[in-house]
Amino acid sequence: MLNFFRITSLTEGISYLLILCVTFGFISREFVYTLGMAHGALFILYLVLSLLAAYKQGWSVGVWLLMFLAAFIPFAFVPVEIFIQKELRKNENSAAQVSGLT
């Protein structure tokens, strides 16, 4: 679940950067519809997966709000990626400790 959220976070962040590239004229405006639809779908998926991940991981509402706000800030997917990698390592360590105890 967390890995799927991580991949969605990265692709949503990159799609947001692509939309900004259209806005600044780096990419032709003929791609606005395609990029906009893809980004919209990824944003909704990001929102749903962030709620599910927050619930499953036991994150506070504040952590979830930071995840949500990161979707509106260019390049904020990078700190989200770092946070998710730390969470994945923490989950692996706790799973290893549990399996070592049995």
| pTM of the predicted model as reported, rounded to 2 decimal places | 0.88
Q: What is the pLDDT at residue 7?
A: 96
Q: Which tens digits make up the pLDDT trace of 38-49? A: 999 999 999 999
Distance, CA of 101 to CA of 95 (rounded, Å): 10
Distance, CA of 89 to CA of 36 (rounded, Å): 34
Q: Which tens digits make up the pLDDT trace of 47-100? A: 999 999 999 999 999 999 999 999 999 999 999 999 999 999 998 888 888 776
